[in-house]
Chain A
Amino acid sequence: MVTLVLLLGCTADRAPQTGLLPLGQSALARRMSIDLRGILPTTEELRSAESAGADSLIDGWLADPHFEAHLVDALAEDWLVRADELKLEADEFGVDIDAYTFARSFANEPTRLMARIAAEDRPWTETVTADWTMANHTLAEILPLEFEDPADPAEWRVARYTDGRPAGGVVMTSGLWLRYSTTLFNYNRGRAAALAQYLLCVDIASRPVAFVAFPGTSSIEQESAVHTEPTCIACHASLDSLAGTLFGFWPFEDEDGVEVVRYHPERERYGEILTGVSPAYFGTPVTSAAQLGPLIANDPRFSMCTAQRTAARLWGRQPADDEYAKVVALQQALTTGGFSMKALLRAVLATEDYRVGSLAENAEDAVVDRTRTVRVLSTTTLASAVEDLTGFRWIWEQADELDGDVTGYRVLLGGADGNTVRSQNPTPTVSHVVAMQRLAELAGAYVAEADLAAARGDRRLIGTTVDDAALAPDDEALAAELIAVHRRMLGVTPDADERAELGELYGAVASTEGSEAGWAAVVSTLLRDPAFWTY
């Protein structure tokens, strides 16, 4: 057993009953930094983790500005809001904005709001009750917002709608409902299903329809059937009444941008006229959309769903049916902590399922099957980690190429597009390895050029141990520098063989093409290593 544990690079802690073996402190710190901040720990932080334990770093990382930025990305991946194609395009609003900036501005409104609440450690219930939102210059140009335009058009600030919409946090964001739009013949049902799925973990749409004969051949007959046919009522009684609470967002013309993104307070009860269904929240009548947020906030499914989704994100898998008690414990951590997302995150980070690094020989099959001993960097985390490390961000024609698929590589790298691909692929494929190769080559060359031209104190990655990073292959300082680069990128010190191999690579390239090319080769190779893009 001890041999196995050492081989797997873990601490020699005794295997608990579950068969999960924990990560060592530096590897745990690496995982925590990536999950909380979307970037790798610095060398100093790794040293601190080894001496004082990884847990000692959590509070600092929860206060790090990267925490909020990363949560925006992580929630966007969870809520699948970053679709490349929205129902309407920028020209519908008469603004001259590229498609990517337009789509991501709307997509990020709800996740920016949630991330700001988490970053300021406000009660998570505000995600459905806040009377404010987050906006950037693009949204302010389009939406009816009270917004103080910042000098930097990319900056996001607190804003308030001026179109009479009630407080409701993400439920009252135009960004969420432009992503999850409705057809004029579906009466907000898709929106209600999304609301139930993402806020309550109630997946209404997945319930199979079981008809002996489908009720009605026309839309009119079908609409009638949803109120009378028992098979239909089972889902539609809750779905349609919930959809009825969202009619303030109902457009009379769904191709009219202004109609679609503005709130229309006078239409809040319009659904009753169209469908004959009174607005309600799972049986509780709703007379004003202002009631919706508090009803969700007080629904125990909301806190349970928050715990479940957060655990899923950090465990790298969905909690299994027999892990109900674990999720309940996390829910309690959230609620007793004043609905603090940071409290919930601390609780998830403390779980055995989060800290697992390998499996004991006695691990049960069910545990082996479901446990994620390593995670693969999501595309947005890959982008932020590489940028933090090298300064390189793969942008082309305004689009972040790791965050989209029109010309980019999100799905090819295993990400989800929210359309045909609805979950991340945790297993590398051909497109993953070739996209990683090109990203690594670009980032490696970029940081090599930048760092070799920079003063020692201004360097990101290369040359942190020497004044002149243009080292000759036989320079004695090379070994220490290779160790520093390796440790920063992978979180571990390379062994003698690894150092020798990296030295040989550097030497072979640098001797013919120069130091910059040598460092580019070293960094790009390490970026392509699964030890970099898994954690």
Chain B
Amino acid sequence: MARIWVPPRPLSRRALLGAGGLTLGGLFLPSPLAAAVTGAQRRFVFVFCPGGWDQSMVFAPVFSSEVDRDFGDAPASAGGIPYVDSEARPSVRRFFEAWAARTCVVNGWNVPSVAHEVCTRLTMTGTVTASQDDWVSIVANGAGPEVPMPNVLLDGPLFPNLYPTASVRLGTNGQLSALLTGEASARSTLRANAPSASSEALSDALLRRRLDRYTQRHLVGTGATVGAATRIALDRAEVLRGYADELEYRSEDALTAGVTTILACFELGLARTATLAYGTGGNGAWDTHSDNRVQDTLYEALFAALCDLCDGLDASPGSHGGTLLDETCIVVLSEMGRTPLYNSAAGKDHWPYTSALFIGSGVRGGQVVGEYADDLTGQPIDIATGAPSASGEVLYPGHLGATILALADIDPGPWVPEGSGRTIEAVLE
């Protein structure tokens, strides 16, 4: 049986979630007892906002004639981070007031495309080729075989190549949980008798012997890969059967259910990384070509969830003396930004310059790295300091990827081709 990655002081999830409901945002700094985790020990949460968020509504407090915005928007600042405040988005203010010291905003990075699919692949891999793993898969793979879900994938885009087994999909309607418990078998128009427990056990045992035989018959090539991956998957499934209830994620309540599931997975040591998407379907809910104010609602829900996630992680004991937040880096991304000006439908169209959030472990908080000009184009920066610099570098997806990998102590070299991006040292603690 595979060993599970268990934190030293597991507590009940419900107890922790209850504690997480309290606002602990005053704790801006890591717990005094926290021991710094290494990149290899760090956990990650990736939150993806498909469709292209409007960076001007939160991250870019550029109040120029070249940027259309709602009358309610106002410049604000908290904990060293300037942002755009609005009564329509109170959770944005709540988040920055509570967590700015643990947060780094990266502004003005350039996704060199304006097509959703291409931008998504670029954002997640730094390239348009299919032979490059996404950042999440690369990081998750470092978790090692003892973690049953290197990456727990609630929803969102991934582009695995070398590491297709790194992620475990939960399904968007509790499918994996139902499969693990066997409840899925009842959801069939054609009914069939379920096997007895003893029959299932006998079948499992024979399957493993037959898998041995399959592996012996396929010593090289794709068959060998299939055999090895099947064995790992069976081992992981065996572990996860004991946690099926914790894995019942439903995307209709993506953020609330997502935060709950991620916290449970981390507290129980079931996963090293987690991936969540908010606003899926079609090109994504954030693709507001008409009525851009829809993003008020999206941002409000997103930041409320980020507050819950940070609160929950901060209330949960980590494995190294501090809290889970001390060990977890949250990365929030969208595949593109939106034009500075409204179109004729009060929407905004695709824009290649956008923003990202790095929160928590390993992140030098309380700062903004990168800058927008008055027309919301990204400006070159000194990647060591994060300050604008005419002789600096324009940030690309490769920069983000290299930074994510650096946070995981993974050499970006093999994954980020030279010239396509370097680690943004200014982001790192």
Contacts and interface: CB of A to CB of B under 8 A. Distances in A.
Please say whether chains A and B are actual partners in one complex.
yes
Interface of A: 4, 7-9, 85, 87, 183-186, 190, 193, 205-206, 208-211, 213-214, 217-219, 222, 316, 318, 358-359, 368, 371-376, 392-396, 401, 405-409, 411-412, 419-423, 425-435, 437-438, 441-446, 449, 498, 501-502, 505, 508-509, 512-513, 516-517, 520-521, 524-525, 528-531, 534
Contacts of A372: 221-222
Contact of B202 (A425, A508, A529): A508
Given A211-B352, A434-B176, A217 B340 contact: yes
Most buried by B among A184, A425, A437, A513: A437
Contact of A513 (B168, B173, B199): B199
Interface string B198-215: 111011001101110110
Interface stretch (B16-24, B88-96, B149-157, B324-332): B149-157
Contacts, number: 263
20 contacts: A8-B218, A85-B282, A185-B349, A205-B113, A209-B114, A209-B352, A217-B375, A373-B220, A373-B222, A374-B221, A392-B190, A409-B175, A409-B179, A412-B169, A429-B233, A431-B175, A446-B190, A505-B202, A520-B193, A529-B214
A432 B226 CA distance: 12
A520 B195 contact: yes
B203 A525 contact: yes
A85 B281 contact: yes
Contact of A525 (B112, B117, B207, B226): B207
Contacts of A217: 66-67, 339-341, 375-376
Nearest to A520: B195
Nearest to B168: A430
A7 B185 contact: no
Given A517-B193, A528-B203, A431 B179 contact: yes
B44 interface: no
Contacts of B297: none
B187 interface: yes
Interface stretch (B5-13, B159-167, B258-266, B314-322): B159-167
Given A8-B219, A214-B351, A373-B218, A429 B203 contact: no
Contact of A498 (B199, B213, B344): B213
A408 B175 CA distance: 7
Contacts of A9: 217
A4, A372, A438, A534 — which one has the most chain B CB atoms within 10 A of its CB?
A438
Nearest to B282: A85
Contacts of B171: 405, 409, 411-412, 431
Nearest to B351: A214
A316 B113 CA distance: 29
A184 B289 contact: yes
B286 interface: no
Contact of B164 (A184, A425, A516, A517): A425
B173 A205 contact: no
Q: Interface range on chain B: under 10, 10 to 19, 20 to 34, or 35 or more?
A: 35 or more
B295 interface: no
Nearest to B281: A85
B403 to A, nearest CB: 20
B230 A433 contact: yes
A320 to B, nearest CB: 11
Given A393-B190, A449-B193, A407 B175 contact: yes
B234 interface: yes
A412 to B, nearest CB: 5
B113 to A, nearest CB: 5
Nearest to B349: A219
Given A501-B209, A534-B226, A184 B345 contact: yes
* 10 A-B pairs with least C-beta separation: A373-B221, A445-B192, A218-B341, A205-B115, A427-B164, A219-B343, A217-B340, A446-B192, A434-B179, A395-B189
Interface string B173-198: 10110011010110111101111101
Given A9-B217, A412-B176, A438-B182, A512 B165 contact: no
Nearest to A420: B157
Contacts of A186: 289
B389 interface: no
Given A423-B130, A525-B207, A529-B214, A517 B187 contact: no
A442 B165 CA distance: 26
A162 to B, nearest CB: 29
Interface string B345-388: 10101011100000000000000000000011100000000000
B227 interface: yes
B345 A406 contact: no
B207 A183 contact: no
Contacts of A445: 192-195
Contact of A428 (B173, B206, B229): B229
Given A218-B342, A396-B188, A525-B210, 9 more contacts: A213-B377, A316-B222, A407-B173, A419-B281, A421-B158, A430-B168, A431-B171, A444-B192, A509-B202
Given A434-B237, A445-B194, A420 B229 contact: no
B119 to A, nearest CB: 10
Given A209-B352, A395-B188, A419 B280 contact: yes
B196 A517 contact: yes
Contacts of A420: 50, 155-158, 277, 280
Given A7-B219, A208-B113, A394-B188, A505 B179 contact: no
B223 interface: yes
B185 A442 contact: yes
A419 B340 CA distance: 27
A435 B45 CA distance: 26
B172 interface: yes
B207 to A, nearest CB: 5
Contacts of B198: 508-509, 512
B236 interface: yes
A211 B214 CA distance: 52
Given A208-B128, A426-B164, A429-B165, A185 B347 contact: yes
B237 A433 contact: yes
Most buried by B among A374, A376, A431, A516: A431
B416 interface: no
Contacts of B240: 430
Contacts of A425: 160, 164
Contacts of A508: 198, 202
B424 to A, nearest CB: 20
Contacts of A8: 217-220
Contacts of A411: 169, 171
B118 interface: yes
Nearest to A376: B226
Contacts of B172: 405-406
B398 to A, nearest CB: 12
Contact of B185 (A190, A206, A438, A509): A438
A110 B220 CA distance: 39
A422 B117 contact: yes
B38 interface: no
Q: Give the residue among A7, A359, A433, A534 with the most B Cβ atoms within 10 A.
A: A433
B77 interface: no
A210 B112 contact: yes
A401 B175 CA distance: 11
A119 B158 CA distance: 36
Nearest to B205: A505
Given A184-B289, A392-B192, A529-B211, A193 B115 contact: yes
Contact of B190 (A185, A210, A419, A442): A442
